[in-house]
Each structure stands twice: as C-alpha cells, then as structure tokens.
Structure 1
Amino acid sequence: MMRAALAAVATVATMAAMLCLAVPAAAQVKPPAVAAQATESRFAMVQMADGRLLAPDIARIVNHGELVVSMLSSDNPPFFSVNKKGELVGTDVDLAKLIAKELGVPVRFDRSAKTFDAVAEVVAAGQADLGISRLARTLKRGQMVHFSSTYMRLGHALLINRIRFAELAGDRPLAQVVRNFTGTIGVIANSSWVEFGRRNFPNAQLVAFPTWAEVVNAAKTGQVVAAYRDEMEVLQYVNNDPSLALTLRTVTFNDLESPLSAMVGVRDLTLLSFVNEVIAQRADKPTVSSVLKSIK
C-alpha cells in the first residue's frame, strides 16, 4: 500500500512538473502570433474617404497632402537650380513633379541636406518620402534606402592637370597610367565619387573638397593631379571655361558609369514600385546629349 501511495504521489508530481513546463511553452507561442498581426496591419490596405484602396505608404502621402522630396541645398544645374524668377527648375525637379502629379498631390522640396549622402540620410530617417538629387547608387547608401530604377546614366571622367600628369606618366601611355593611377585625385566630400574613387582607382590618393568648384581649382593649380566626376559635369565645366583646356585634359571612360536613381525609405515598397513605373512610362527620358543640348 505504501508503495502504491508513493507511486501515486510521484505521478502527481510528474504531472505538475509537466504542467509547469507547458505554461512557458504555451506563452512562447503568443509573440509570433502578435508579430504576425502587427505585420498584417502594417501592410493592410487603407480605404480613403473617396473610396480608393491604397497601400499604407501611398496613403500616408495622400493623407499628408504633399510629396516631400529631399534635395541638396546647393544648386546643381541642369538637374536642380533656382532660376532668375526664383523658381526651382531642372531635370530632377521635373521628375519629382511628375511623381507628385501621378499621386495627385503637390511636391515640397526639403533642401536641408548639405551633402549628397545627407539627402539619402534624410529619406532613411523618414523626414522625406523621396530623395531625388543627382544621386548615384553606392554601397553606403544601399544599406539605408532602396534605389529606384535608373532614370539617367552618366559616364565617368577625369580632368587631368597636363603638367602634373606628364611628371607622373613619364614615357608610359595614357591608358596604362590612368588605369593604374597612383597620383592624387580630387573628389567632392560625402558624395558617390568618394566610393567610386576608392573602387576604380585603388592605388590613388583621394583628396576630398567641399564643392566641385574647389575640386576643379585644385586640379587647375596642381594641388591634385586630376579631378574626378561624371562626364556631363566635366564637359559642362570645360565648355563654360574654354581656357581650362590650356592646363587641363579631359579623359572619359566608356566602361564606367554612374546610374542616377531616386532614393526611397526601406519600408515604402509600394512607393518604390510606383516610382519605378513612373520612370518606365516617362515619355521624355533625359540623356547626357539631350541635356547638354538643352543647356546650349
């Protein structure tokens, strides 16, 4: 009898222990279910007052009543600049206005960003819906925003100081020296050209300057051997100041390009798809030659 009683007690204790263990296990099932509900609500369609069903990121913009676009504070014609009438104009401005028009809201440009990288950071922080500001795709930016489809492609180019380059090259041919560049190259600080310079000219010494004008001046005075940027900016600068040809030489690359994209927040996937479709259906797709021709 004693043994039977002990066995019964052991059985009860075992069952109690199993029940105690089962409680935490059951509790652990709830968080994933709660997380799933949160995920579903985050992506749930939003019904507007006019009856339309919109994705949450699109509904946010429509309810806010405007599309906020982050753009660099300093002008970069022909992409974006203030004209004599005080109006913001340019190819990037046109794209931003087209996207806003298709969304049915006006556009507001946030020009608080002092550097190109800062434009992407404003979008990543949720302070703007889009970043459209002559922005190239970089690995650094790719860690905090989504890139739209390419809306324009710019080839790479160097403005080379003739005397400094001759000292560096010696008897070696131009192509050999450029591809294995070991001199100094000027780039704009906190821009895509810092990353492009490290990747495409690993043996060169990069020197960063606040503005493109300072980069060109450094190449002109021999402070650096070459200035590095896209072909449009290089050609435009030389065309505006033909005297530069006396001290600087232009070298363009057929196998290096800088694809320009809009920047979208990582959570705004429907907005990203929408922007891609606007770019794809755009009738007037700008090119380097067409933009340079319009400037002339």
Structure 2
Amino acid sequence: MIKNTNMLRKAWGAVGAIGLGLFVAFGADQADAQSFAELKANGKIVIGIQGENPPWGFVDESNQSAGFDADFAKLLGEEIGVPVEFNRVAVANRIPTLMTNKVDALIAVMGMYPDRAKVVQFTKPYSAIDIILLAKPETNIKAPEDLKGLRIAVARSSAQDTQVTKNAPQGATIQRFDDDATAIQAFLSGQVDALGANNTYFLSIAKIAPDFKFEKKLQFNRQYNGISVRPGQKQFVEELNAFIDKVRADGRLEKIYQKWLGQDTPDFPDSLPDIPFAVQ
C-alpha cells in the first residue's frame, strides 16, 4: 500500500534523473511574450507543468521537474535558444495560471476539448492519452450504469473528472482529489472502489504498488493534448505548430514517447471539431 504521494515521486526519480538539468523557479515577472523572438530577448520561457502526475510531469529526487512534458518543454527551449523555467501547476489551476500571465504556455497534459478552446488557444496536438476507469478484477463494472453505489476517485477538474461525471449514474459517489497522485493513493488504500484514470496510470501504479491487482473496466475517450497559450497569440501559435511538426518529423518526439511511455508516437488528427489549432 502506498503511504504517501512522495513514493510516487521517488518511484519515477531515477527515470527523471536521466537527461539535462532543468531550471525551476517561481518568479513574479509577467510572462507575456508573443513570439519566439520576444522569448529569446527575455532570456527564458516560463512553462506551466504538472508536479504530481508521472510520467507526464513530476518532481524528481533532485527537486527538478521531470517527465514527458518536461522533456518536451526542454526541446522547445532548445528550439528557441533559451532555458526553461518551470512553474508547477495543479490540474485545477492550470488555466488561471496561464490567463494571469504567470507562464508563457502550458505543457501540462491539457486535453483539447471545445469548452477549453473557448478560453485558451491550443496548438496542434503533441501527445494523446486514453481516458479510462480502473478497478479491482472482482469489481463488476461492464457499463457506466454499473457504477451505481460505487465510490470513484478522480483528480479535480481533469479529463477523467469530466468523463466520470458525464457517465456515472445517479447513486455513484464521485470523490475529487487535488491531483492525480492523491487520487491514486485513495484507490490503492481502499478509500474508493474505482479510479478515473488515463492509460499512463498503469505505469505509475506498477512502480509504486507492483503487486496491486487492478484492470481497465471502461474506456471513455481518447484525449489529445496540445500546448496552451492565451487567445490571440497568432505568431506564437504558428511558431509552436512549426516546432511540433519539426520534432515529429525528425524523431525527437518519438524518443520522448519511447523513454516515458514505451510506445510509438500515435497518429494525430489534422483537426478536431470546434478546436482550432491556429488563431482565427
């Protein structure tokens, strides 16, 4: 049984230690650059990243931000020619952090959904995850209606929160936690019967509780993740899209996929309904 969420950090620490050091800071400067040239003039790019969601974003044993999104952000910094400064965000405060100019962009497992696209500007997708439900093998769940009477953990304001809330019948109890790590903790400790998750939770649980028996019960949807910036940043978005195309074509994104997820880069759609990939 997991004692606390620090175990989740430590389990991924050795993987996160591989690679170059990354800067982490929490300065009060406004992050409002409109282009790569402005970022280069500023001497840094400030990225909002999750700190409790391995393998996407977490804090390693050296107190550095690590994970898939950290490595992807590092590639972006290299492309621009500036160091990356990380501002660690929880799921629920990602968008407020962006919209109050505390970061230049979010690389924080930001699922691309029409409601979010009304508030932020997305780039093309750079990663994808499946939104699923996990439970012990003996828990009988074959359809959403089987969730009646069950307690389900989700990370607050996450894509799994949205999908579980949408699909759970009356009589299901949804328990919302501040981040992915504490939702996983609740599942492993028996506080809940099921866990709203994504497919990378398998990796995290295997590292911290390798003998714990669980399985996928339901799949809700596939989520595509994009870099998120503030609306109206036309040149910035065009440059970010060109960067995504470049790292996909030259194999650098594939290397990050293999390192953190052990899988090939998926095919990404050219468009998503009601989610523009460029400023219109």
TM-score, L = length of structure 2: 0.68
Q: 1:211, CA displacement in angstroms?
A: 3.5
Aligned to 2:92: 117
Partner residue in 1 for 2:45:
67
CA contact (8 A) 1:123 1:130 kept: yes
Matching residue's letter, 2:187: A
The corresponding residue for 2:7 is none
How far apart are residue 252 of structure 1 and its match?
A: 5.5
Q: Per-residue deviation at 1:208?
A: 0.6
For the residues of structure 1 that align with 2:52 and 2:246, how far apart are their CA atoms?
27
User: CA deviation digits over 1:41-93, x for unaligned, max 9?
Assistant: xxxxxxxxxxxxxx954443233221111123x34332233434444332211
Structure 2 partner of 1:77: 54
Contact 1:138/1:192 (<8 A) preserved: no
Residue among 222, 241, 251 paired with 2:217 = 251
Secondary structure at the counterpart of residue 73 of structure 2:
helix
- Residue 263 of structure 1 and its aligned partner are, at CA, apart by 0.9
Q: Number of paired residues?
A: 225
1:266-287 Cα distance to aligned partner (Å, 9 max, x none): 1212111211221122123348
Contact (CA 8 Å) 1:232, 1:288: kept in 2 or not? no
Higher relative contact order (CA 8 A, sep 6+): 2
1:278 aligns with 2:243: yes
- Residue 292 of structure 1 corresponds to which residue in structure 2? 261
- Is the CA contact 1:159–1:219 (under 8 Å) kept in the aligned structure 2? no
Q: Secondary structure in 2 aligned to 1:71? A: strand
Native 8 Å contact 1:157 1:231 kept in 2: yes
The whole-number CA distance in structure 2 between the counterparts of 1:80 and 1:239 is 15
Which residue type is aligned with residue 151 of structure 1? Y
User: 2:128, 2:225 within 8 Å by CA — same for their partners in 1?
Assistant: yes
User: Which has the larger displacement, 117-126 or 236-245?
Assistant: 236-245
TM-superposed CA distance for 1:123, in Å, is 1.3
What's the Cα RMSD here?
2.9
SS of 2:262's partner is helix
Bigger Cα Rg: 1
> Structure 2 CA distance, aligned partners of 1:98 and 1:221?
37
SS at match of 2:239: helix
Partners of 1:75 and 1:198 in 2: CA distance: 22
Per-residue CA deviations over 1:205-237 (Å, capped at 9, x if unaligned) read 422122334323433455433101101113431
TM-score of the superposed pair, with normalisation by structure 1: 0.65
| Corresponding residue to 2:160 among 190, 193, 212 | 193
- Unmatched 5+ residue regions in structure 1? 1-54, 167-173
Cα distance between partner residues in 1 of 2:109 and 2:156: 15
Closer, same or farther: CA 157–193 of 1 in aligned 2, 3 Å: closer
